[in-house]
Amino acid sequence: MHAGQLGMDCRYCHNTVEKAGFAAIPPTQTCMNCHAHIRTTSERLAPVRDSYATGKSIDWVKVHDLADYVYFNHSAHLAKGVGCVSCHGRIDKMDVVHNDQPLTMGWCLECHRAPEKHLRPRDQITNMTWDPLAETGKTQLQLGLELKKQYNIHDSAYMTSCSTCHR
């Protein structure tokens, strides 16, 4: 609903995603910026209104939950042009957010070995519908290889070193 029908940018709610290693869970006030005026009696939003009234945080259900021993830095990936859709899928088409990708070690290593498959211009990282061919006339692979060079992403042992993600 938020990213889909309303076209809201991921960063409105997850406002630390470009600056910190984690994508912040929004405080109730972020929700209430709109919901104090929109759908004010919706039963589905009762937990939001209750949280706002009591000051008690919403008990969010973490959908994309990596194991505690995995280090993942959102800001590093976004700075290198990896779009939200690469890991989270088309959130804009989901009625209820779910895991679109397995987020397993093998899956992550596949991306680290060939990041060009997921790179996009930095101003398109949250654009769920961005199409490289339509926007640039280049295939994802062509553009990705150019961006890999432009963003100074090197094939290195660090990209697949255990300590990159296990700290």
* Tens-digit pLDDT profile for residues 51-94: 999 999 998 888 998 999 999 999 999 999 999 999 999 999 99
Q: Are residues 34 and 79 in the same domain?
A: no
What Å distances lie between residue 166 and 71, 82, 107, 115, 163, CA to CA? Answer: 6, 20, 15, 19, 5
Does one domain contain both 98 and 159?
yes
Q: Are residues 44 and 89 located together in one domain of the fold?
A: no
| Domain-located, residue 59 | no
122 vs 167 pLDDT, higher one: 122
Whether residues 141 and 103 fall in one domain? yes
Structural domain harbouring 31: 10-54
Domain membership of residue 94 (yes or no) is yes
Percent of the chain predicted with pLDDT > 70: 100
Quote the number of domains for the chain: 2
Q: Would you say the pTM of this structure is higher than 0.85?
A: yes
Is the backbone of residue 152 left (phi > 0), alpha (psi -120 to 50) or beta? left
- Residue 96 within any structural domain of the chain: yes
Judgement on whether residues 127 and 82 belong to the same structural domain of the protein: yes
Average pLDDT, the chain: 93
Q: Are residues 161 and 122 in the same domain?
A: yes
